[in-house]
C-alpha cells in the first residue's frame, strides 16, 4: 500500500484504490510553497468577505494551513472527525471514478500544484483547487451529504464516446499547460481542440449533463440571492482571479434550477454566468429531480440503448430485481419496448448487487441474451405466476416446452431448473437443448450440452453505468505515473528555488543569519521577471522595520510591472497584503 489508510479509506473497492498515489510531500519546492501561501493569503483576505461562512470555518475544521501546503496525512486525522477522508490521485481520473470516490466520502486531491505563471488559474486539477477549494466546504454537513449523494448518483450516469474524447482532450491540455517549457502554440492548439469538441458533442449524454450540474454547483456555485450571493464552488474559492470577477456585474447571476444540467461550460475561459442556489438543501432537491430523468430510474428501451451507445460496462435491472452486467451489444424492440437484449464478452448476473452463485463471468464469458416481457396470449407475466400457474403453463423442471413471447421471440428446450430470490420469486429459468429465435433468425442454439439461462423480467426498470457486484469483474488496469520522470530542472531554476528556500527559512526562524539584501540583489540581477520572492522580501522588510529596504523592493517591483503589465494586479495585491500584515502587527 502506497498511502496511509484509515477506516473511511478501508471501505474503498480495489478499482478506486488503483488511482491513489503517495503525496511525496518532500517533492514540493519552496516556490511551490510560496505559490500556495500567496494564493491562500489572498483568498482568505478576499473570501472572508464574499465566501459562504462555511469556508473559513471549514479551513479550521479541516486543518488547512495558510502558510504551508497541506499534508494529506494531517488532513485525514481531522477529516475523519466529520466522516470523510482525502487521498492524492494521479492527476485527472475518469469522471465516474471521481464521483464514486465522493460516494464513499473520500475527497480526491491532485497532489501537484500549479506553476507560478499559472498562479491565478489552471485547468489542471491541483492541490490548491482540491485542498483549498473543496475540502473546507465539506465541513458543512448539508453540503457534505449533497457531495456524497452527487457521487452516488453521478457514478451511475451513462456516457458516450464523445465524452471520452473530451475527457482526454482536457486531460492533455492540463498536462501541457502545467509542463515547463510548453510552446504557446501547442497550448492554443489543445484549447482549440477542446472548443471544437464542445461544439460538436451532439445529444448530451447523462454524464455530460450531470457534469454540467457538478460544474455549476460543486465547482462554480454561488449561494444566497442573485443580488447578494456568496461563493461556495471550489473553482471560485481556489481562483484568485475568478473569485473577484464573479462578483462583478459582468457576470450574470441566475437562480439555480435543473436548467443548469442543460447549460454547457467552457473550461478554458472565465464563466459569463453563474447559478445561485438559495441554500445547500435546494442543491439536493435539484439533484433528485435530475436523477428522475436518468436511465438509473427510468430504465426501458431508451436506457438499454444508452448503454449500447456507451460501449462501456453497464447494468440493467429487470422488474424481478435480476441485474445483468456487461457490455450491451444489441436490443430487439417491439412496439416501443425491448423484447430481447444481448451482451458481448464477459457478463455476470446479480441480485441486490450480489452475484448469483453459478452466474459469474466464467459462466457467461461469451455474452448473455434473454427475452423480456410477457408470453404471447397470456396476460400474466412469468414473474407474477404462482407455482400453480407455472405448472399450468408447463414451466417447471423436466418439461420440454416452446415459449413464445410478445415480439416474436421463441424459446424451445427442456427446463432443468429455476432460480428464485429470497422471496421465492422466480428470476431465472435454465434450459438444455435450447434454441432461441426471433422470427426466422436463430439468436442462440445449445451446443455440446450447453445450458441456456433465461432471465425472468417483464421490463427493464433501471439501466446504469458500471456493474452490480464490484467483485464480478477485474476493473484494475491503471498504472500510476512516475513523477520522477519529469524533465530535470534548469540550473538557474534550482538556484532561484534555493533563494526562495532561504527566505522561507528566515521567515520561519529556521535560519535568521541569511542576508536578505544579498538575496534581493541576486534576484534583481539574475531573475528580473520573478516577482513573488520580492513580495515575500518586502513583507519581511516591513515587519522588521527596514523601510529603506522595503522602498528599494517596491521600486524594483514597479519596474517588473512596467515590463510585464499582466503581473500588475498580482504585485499590487501582494504589496497590499504585506502592508495589511504590517499594520495589523502595529495595532497589536
What lies within 8 Å, CB to CB, of 217 at 6+ separation is 146, 150, 233, 256, 260, 275, 277, 283
Using the 8-state DSSP alphabet, how is residue 20 labeled?
B
CA distance 207 to 136: 26
Q: What is the pTM of this model?
A: 0.86
Helix/strand/coil for 92: coil
What cell does 232 get?
461556495
DSSP letters for 234-252: HHHHT-TTHHHHTTSTTSE
CA distance 473 to 33: 42
One digit per residue, pLDDT tens: the chain, 588 residues?
Answer: 456 778 889 999 999 999 998 888 888 999 999 999 999 888 888 888 899 999 888 887 877 888 999 888 888 887 888 889 988 887 678 888 999 999 999 988 888 888 898 888 776 778 888 777 888 888 899 999 999 999 999 999 999 878 888 878 887 887 787 677 788 899 889 888 888 887 777 788 999 999 999 999 999 999 999 999 999 998 888 887 788 889 999 999 999 999 999 998 877 678 899 999 999 999 999 999 999 999 999 999 999 999 999 999 999 999 999 999 999 999 999 999 999 999 999 999 999 999 999 999 999 999 999 999 999 999 999 999 988 899 999 999 999 999 999 999 999 999 999 999 888 889 999 999 999 999 999 999 999 889 999 999 999 999 999 999 999 999 987 766 654 334 444 455 688 999 999 999 999 999 888 999 999 999 999 999 999 999 999 999 999 989 999 999 999 999 999 999 999 999 999 999 888 876 766 655
Phi and psi torsions of 368, nearest 5°: -150, 135
Q: Which long-range contacts (CB under 8 A, 24 or more apart) does 477-480 make?
A: 477/18, 478/18, 478/19, 478/90, 480/2, 480/19, 480/21, 480/90
Distances (CA, A) of 368 to 160, 309, 330, 343: 22, 18, 11, 5
What cell does 135 get?
475540502
- How many CB atoms are closer than 10 A to CB 155? 24
Task: For residue 142, give the nearest of 276, 286, 280, 257 by alpha carbon.
Answer: 280
Distance of CA 90 to the CA centre of its chain: 12
What cell does 383 get?
414473474
The answer to whether 69 and 112 are in contact (CB under 8 A) is no
Q: Kindly report the CATH number that applies to the domain delimited by 9-218.
A: 1.10.800.10
Please, what CATH class does the domain formed by 295-465 belong to?
mainly beta
Distances (CA, A) of 22 to 85, 89, 92, 111, 482: 14, 8, 15, 9, 11
What lies within 8 Å, CB to CB, of 491 at 6+ separation is none
Distances (CA, A) of 484 to 3, 21, 179, 420: 18, 13, 13, 55
Phi and psi torsions of 156, nearest 5°: -95, -5
What cell does 162 get?
464523445
Task: For residue 530, give the nearest of 178, 28, 31 by alpha carbon.
Answer: 31
Using the 8-state DSSP alphabet, how is residue 471 labeled?
T
Using the 8-state DSSP alphabet, how is residue 566 labeled?
G
Amino acid at each position: 500500500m502506497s498511502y496511509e489508510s484509515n477506516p473511511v479509506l478501508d471501505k474503498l473497492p480495489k478499482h478506486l484504490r488503483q488511482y491513489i498515489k503517495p503525496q511525496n510531500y518532500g517533492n514540493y519546492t519552496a516556490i511551490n510553497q510560496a505559490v500556495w501561501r500567496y494564493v491562500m493569503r489572498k483568498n482568505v483576505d478576499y473570501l472572508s468577505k464574499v465566501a459562504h461562512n462555511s469556508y473559513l470555518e471549514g479551513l479550521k475544521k479541516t486543518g488547512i494551513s495558510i502558510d504551508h501546503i497541506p499534508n494529506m496525512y494531517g488532513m485525514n486525522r481531522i477529516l475523519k472527525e466529520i466522516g470523510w477522508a482525502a487521498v492524492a490521485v494521479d492527476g485527472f481520473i475518469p469522471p465516474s471514478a471521481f464521483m464514486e470516490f465522493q460516494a464513499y466520502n473520500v475527497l480526491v486531491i491532485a497532489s501537484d500544484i500549479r506553476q507560478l505563471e499559472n498562479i491565478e488559474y489552471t485547468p489542471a486539477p491541483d492541490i490548491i483547487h482540491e485542498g483549498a477549494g473543496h475540502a473546507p466546504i465539506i465541513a458543512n454537513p448539508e453540503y457534505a451529504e449533497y457531495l456524497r449523494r452527487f457521487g452516488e448518483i453521478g457514478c451511475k450516469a451513462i456516457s458516450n464516446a464523445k465524452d471520452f474524447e473530451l475527457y482526454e482532450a482536457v486531460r492533455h491540455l492540463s498536462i501541457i499547460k502545467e509542463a515547463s517549457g510548453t510552446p504557446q502554440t501547442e497550448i492554443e492548439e489543445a484549447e482549440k481542440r477542446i472548443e471544437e469538441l464542445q461544439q460538436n458533442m451532439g445529444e448530451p449524454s447523462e454524464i455530460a449533463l450531470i457534469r454540467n450540474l457538478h460544474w455549476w454547483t460543486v465547482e462554480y456555485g454561488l449561494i444566497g440571492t442573485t443580488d447578494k450571493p456568496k461563493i461556495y464552488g471550489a473553482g471560485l474559492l481556489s481562483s484568485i482571479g475568478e473569485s473577484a470577477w464573479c462578483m462583478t456585474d459582468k457576470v450574470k447571476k441566475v437562480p439555480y434550477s435543473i436548467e443548469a444540467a442543460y447549460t454547457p461550460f467552457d473550461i478554458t475561459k472565465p464563466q459569463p454566468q453563474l447559478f445561485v442556489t438559495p441554500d445547500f438543501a435546494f442543491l439536493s432537491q435539484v439533484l433528485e429531480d435530475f436523477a428522475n430523468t436518468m436511465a438509473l430510474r427510468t430504465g426501458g428501451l431508451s436506457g438499454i440503448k444508452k448503454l449500447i451507445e456507451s460501449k462501456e460496462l453497464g447494468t440493467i435491472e429487470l422488474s424481478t430485481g435480476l441485474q445483468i452486467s456487461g457490455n450491451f451489444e444489441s436490443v430487439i424492440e417491439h412496439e416501443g419496448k425491448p423484447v430481447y437484449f444481448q451482451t458481448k464478452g464477459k457478463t455476470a448476473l446479480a441480485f441486490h448487487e450480489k452475484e448469483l452463485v453459478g452466474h459469474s463471468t466464467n459462466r457467461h464469458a461469451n455474452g448473455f441474451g434473454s427475452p423480456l416481457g410477457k408470453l404471447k396470449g397470456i396476460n400474466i407475466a412469468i414473474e407474477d405466476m404462482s407455482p400453480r400457474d407455472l405448472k399450468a403453463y408447463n414451466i417447471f423442471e423436466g418439461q420440454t416446452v416452446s415459449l413464445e413471447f410478445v415480439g416474436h421471440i421463441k424459446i424451445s428446450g427442456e427446463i432443468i431448473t429455476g432460480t428464485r430470490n429470497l422471496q421465492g420469486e422466480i428470476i431465472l429459468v435454465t434450459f438444455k437443448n435450447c434454441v432461441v429465435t426471433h422470427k426466422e433468425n436463430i439468436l442462440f442454439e445449445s451446443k455440446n450440452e450447453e445450458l441456456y439461462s433465461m432471465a425472468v423480467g417483464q421490463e427493464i426498470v433501471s439501466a446504469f453505468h458500471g456493474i452490480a457486484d464490484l467483485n464480478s469483474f477485474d476493473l484494475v488496469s491503471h498504472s500510476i505515473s512516475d513523477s520522477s520522470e519529469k524533465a530535470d530542472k534548469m540550473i538557474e531554476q534550482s538556484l532561484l528555488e534555493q533563494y526562495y528556500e532561504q527566505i522561507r527559512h528566515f521567515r520561519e526562524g529556521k535560519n535568521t543569519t541569511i542576508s536578505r539584501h544579498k538575496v534581493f540583489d541576486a534576484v534583481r540581477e539574475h531573475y528580473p521577471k520573478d516577482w513573488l520572492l520580492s513580495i515575500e522580501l518586502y513583507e519581511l522588510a516591513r515587519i522588521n522595520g527596514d523601510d529603506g529596504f522595503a522602498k528599494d523592493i517596491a521600486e524594483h517591483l514597479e519596474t517588473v510591472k512596467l515590463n510585464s503589465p499582466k503581473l500588475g494586479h498580482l504585485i499590487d495585491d501582494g504589496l497590499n497584503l504585506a502592508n495589511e500584515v504590517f499594520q495589523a502587527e502595529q495595532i497589536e
